[in-house]
Structure 1
Amino acid sequence: MSETPSPVDGDPADVLCTPADYVRWAASRFEAAGLSYGHGLDNALDEAFYLVRGALHLPHELPEVYLRARLMPAERRRLVGLIEARVTTRKPIAYLLGEAWFCGMRFRVDERVIVPRSPLAELIMEGFEPWVARPPRRILDLCAGSGCIAIACAKAFPDAEVHAVELDDGAAELMDANIADHGLGGRVHAHRGDLFEPLRTAGVEAFDLIVTNPPYVPDDEWAALPAEYHAEPRLALAAGTDGMEVVDRLLHEAPGFLAPGGTLVGEVGASVAPFMARFAGLPAHWPEFVHGGSGVFVIERDDLVDWLQGDRDVG
């Protein structure tokens, strides 16, 4: 990693005046510091613009004239502090701002949850077409974290009943806050517990659609990740020697919670190879994404049941 350069001589807030000044300076600082980008953006300039826009509470589609506007002294000091914090702490920008965007919606985030960035957003916004034939009446989000997937599904399917399950108490508290922020307390039902266990005790009916972004990073790969990822909860990322410990349980238990004709959609990111090695012959589909991302599998309940039966017969 490159040595972090010193800031400009004196107080940058005395020299830099406009949002454009801070975008330029931040991008230079980020690039020179050798930061890692992987929480929704992939380069120093985009990160710099995202930080400046977010800190100033400006819209995503920002007219260029605003980039030339002079900032108040307090705004300048806040931007300098955030830019320096990004360099020195290596925390993702979402944690520094306390917010992230998913499916066009704002969510509260902090170190209790991973930063929302899943390509599942594209599937949600497209109504899971062509993988789901009709609008689901009941949806489950497993390993829900901030609750962004469950909330986005509730918005995409306004007639659906949505349930969300999260194991970690801190993450579940943040999920509750996001559900309340989006006014969905009556439609998104939050559960605390390990995968399907709280649904068993609650006697919840089967689901037409289960969506999950579980931990799937092999332990040794997690250990080698840049500091930005180590700022996120390990529980939400690392999952054993091949990263498939939680996914294995999901696949084996999901049929009992899927309605006839139901569909399971899960993300395994860069762990497609260990997924296919461990679950050889699983008849899953792998959607392609227009807006980037990969590693999402789709499988229908009947196909999963048949594969599990064959796997038991072989075993």
Structure 2
Amino acid sequence: LFQPGLQSQAPALTVAMATRVSKLRSRLHRLFSKVGVPDPGASAKYLLAHCIGQRTLTREHSRLELTAQQLSKLTGLCNRRLQREPLQYILGEWYFRDVSLVMRAPVFIPRPETEKLVDLAKQCWSAVGASSSHPHSLSRPRLFSEVCTGSGAVSVCLLRDLPQAHCLAIELLPEACHLTWENCHRNGVSNRLHLINASLATPGLLGRAPPLSLIVANPPYVPELDMRQLQPEVTFESPVALRGGGIGGLGVIVQLMDFADARLATGG
């Protein structure tokens, strides 16, 4: 069980260390491994790359010597990672597929497996378009909804790859709404985003909005009893993005099914 009060027991990194990238990378890998940081190699690589102004490290970077200023910055970032703060929050930016996203606590961090959701949504979108028999279907803006939007990762990718699509994004956490808008604006798709800060249980949600061609979601599903067994990194994320509620954590998923039944277009 992770106890925030024990975070200070993690060993602190000091600036009295090597300055060459290759040696720093090895030492950080060992240090992160020692305290149980998941994927310690990735943490060492990305934090070092960030300090030298790069997205990642290459062989050409291995002989670089960090300046005193860079080393001081690295020290601060690594101490945050030793406290098990997620790498994405520390860097403030993360790539989802090939899209650059701003990341801030406590907004849910998109997992690598969520990329499969984008591919599946695009396949469904194409299938719905191919099966539409409405004579004006090609001239009307088609609408999809992302529920539990989080950072907006899925919405950004779909809006970028589906230039005729418009998105109704629904998110309960205000911080996530701000981040979704920021990421959509950052990637040039905010003009087709319609963002709603609300719960799925809100009466009259979407009002007179037209039927949806597609609903995509990565809803919270963690049962209440399992919340105490999550990795330390996950405790930095909002419980709103994790706790499913209801029996077995299925509360939000049940709401989502009711929402789909009411709002999804025929054939959607």
TM-score for both structures, normalised by structure 1: 0.72
Aligned residue among 29, 41, 47 for 2:43: 47
Amino acid at match of 2:254: D
CA 1:125–1:21 in structure 2 vs 1: closer, same or farther (change >3 Å)?
Answer: farther
Q: How does 1:112-123 map to 2 (within 5 A)?
A: 112-123=106-117
Deviation at 1:83, TM superposition (A): 0.9
For residue 161 of structure 2, what is the aligned residue in structure 1? 156
TM superposition shift of 1:134? 5.0
**1:14-47 CA distances to partner (integer Å, 9 max, x unpaired)?**
5322332332222111110112x3xxxxx21122
Contact 1:142 1:164 in 2 (8 A): yes
Alignment match, 2:135: none
Is 1:259 equivalent to 2:257 in the alignment? no
Write the distance in 2 (CA, Å) between the matches of 1:70 and 1:101: 26
Q: Match of 2:191?
A: 186
* Distance in 1 (alpha carbons) for counterparts of 2:110 and 2:265: 28
Q: CA deviation at 1:180?
A: 1.7
Match of 1:27 in 2: 29
8 Å Cα contact 1:100-1:115 kept in structure 2: no
Out of 66, 74, 82, which is 2:69 matched to?
74
Structure 2 Cα separation of the partners of residues 120 and 131 of structure 1: 17
Which structure exhibits the higher relative contact order, with contacts defined as CA atoms closer than 8 Å and separated by 6 or more residues? 2
AA at the equivalent of 1:187: R
Q: Percent same amino acid at aligned positions?
A: 27
Matched residue pairs, number?
Answer: 250
Q: Name the counterpart of 1:97.
A: 91
Equivalent residue number for residue 56 of structure 1:
52
User: What residue identity is the alignment partner of 1:107?
Assistant: L
Residues 214 and 247, structure 1, Cα contact 8 Å, conserved in 2: yes
Could you tell which deviates more after superposition, 185-194 or 197-206?
A: 197-206
CA contact (8 A) 1:151 1:188 kept: no
> Are residues 1:166 and 2:166 paired?
no
Instruction: Decide which of 239, 250, 257 is 1:244's aligned counterpart.
Output: 250
Following superposition, the deviation at residue 247 of structure 1 comes to: 0.3
Question: d(CA) in 1 for partners of 2:250 and 2:61?
Answer: 47
State the shift of 1:5 in Å.
Answer: 4.3
**C-alpha contact (below 8 Å) 2:125/2:213 kept by paired residues:** no
User: How big is the shift at 1:6?
Assistant: 5.7
Q: Which residue of 1 aligns with 2:60?
A: 65
For residues 243 and 164 of structure 1, the distance between their equivalents in structure 2, rounded to whole angstroms, comes to: 22
Deviation at 1:4, TM superposition (A): 3.8
Structure 1, residues 69-102: CA drift from partner, whole Å, max 9, x if none?
1222211111111111111x21101111112221
Which residue is equivalent to 2:138? none
Does structure 2 retain, via aligned residues, the 8 Å contact 1:191–1:198? Answer: no
Q: Give the deviation of 1:51 after TM superposition.
A: 2.2
**Distance in 1 between residues matched to 2:121 and 2:53, nearest whole Å:** 30
What are the superposed Cα offsets for residues 142-187 of structure 1, whole Å, 9 maximum, x if unpaired?
A: 0101111111110121111112111111221222221221222211
The CA RMSD over aligned residues, in Å, is: 2.5
Matched, 1:219 2:224: yes
> Which runs of no fewer than 5 residues in structure 2 stay unpaired?
3-8, 131-141
Q: Which moved more, 1:208-217 or 1:47-56?
A: 47-56
